[in-house]
Structures are given as C-alpha cells and as structure tokens.
Amino acid sequence: MKIINAVKFIFPGISENERTARAVVSAFLVQLDPTVEELADIRTAVSEAVTNAIVHGYRNGSGDVELHMKLLENREIYLRIKDRGCGIPDVEQAMQPLFTTAPEEERAGLGFAVMESFMDKLQVKSKPGQGTTVTMRKKLGEPPCRVK
C-alpha cells in the first residue's frame, strides 16, 4: 500500500505525554478532514495504547515511547505505538476484557478492548523483557463536501 505521508514521534514514557500523543495524532489527521467521531475514536485508541506503554510497559522504570503514524492511500491510517519495557508474557490473556496486571490500581483491563472497538485492525506483539508493539489501522470515510 502506498504511503502518502508519515511522522515518527518519540517521547519519554511519562503520564503527561499521553495528552501530547493525542494532540500529535490530531494534528497529523487534520490533513484528512476526519469527522469528529473518527478523530475521537483514533485519539482514544492512541491514548489507551500510550497509557498501556507508560503504566504497564515501564512499571518499574522509564523509557521512550514511539508513535509512528502513516497516511496510506484510500484514507487509511496506520498507527504503531512501541515501548521497550517489560513486555507481555501472554498477549492473548492480556487482550481479554477485564484482564489487568494492576488490579490494586483499580485498572479496568479494557485498554485492548477499547482499541479493538475503535479501530478496524489491531495487532499486539510483545516479548518479555523487550517491550510491546501495538499496531492499529482505520479507514476513514469519505471527506465531507465543502461549499466553495
């Protein structure tokens, strides 16, 4: 698939940067004139992925989070969020709704379920001790008609 535009954003895995990641994604998506709903869905999915990287990936330390954004032909968005944290021993289990590694922090365990519900495709790859990569794709609808 042809890449129309791409941006890579690397930031420290601290909670304040979750908002920054949402803002960067919003700024990148402006070129497509998405609907408010499409923008909200993508921002929410990115927020969940970045929060997972910060809260779970870097639980006992810190590190960078990478956000890769690509605009593909036919108004398809490709997003990849990557950390080099502790990794997930059992991805299938982690993707089950209500599963959390931090019940003492009152985590709902719905991050992956939320990502999956808002995006067309979700893939999670992880290796213990090496980190986690979340890849998401969403095809946007046709742009709204503009009166000139």
- Alpha-carbon distance 112 to 98, whole Å? 10
Out of 107, 137, 142, 146, which one is annotated catalytic? 107
Is-catalytic flag, 48? Answer: yes
Q: Are strands 121-127 and 76-83 parallel, antiparallel or unpaired?
A: unpaired
> Do residues 25 and 125 touch, judged by C-beta distance below 8 A?
no
Out of 48, 73, 74, 80, which one is annotated catalytic? 48
Of 80, 105, 84, give the one whose Cα is nearest residue 12. Answer: 84
- Alpha-carbon distance 144 to 128, whole Å? 44
Out of 17, 52, 84, 116, which one is annotated catalytic? 52
Is-catalytic flag, 60? Answer: no
Is-catalytic flag, 107? Answer: yes
Catalytic site positions = 48, 52, 107
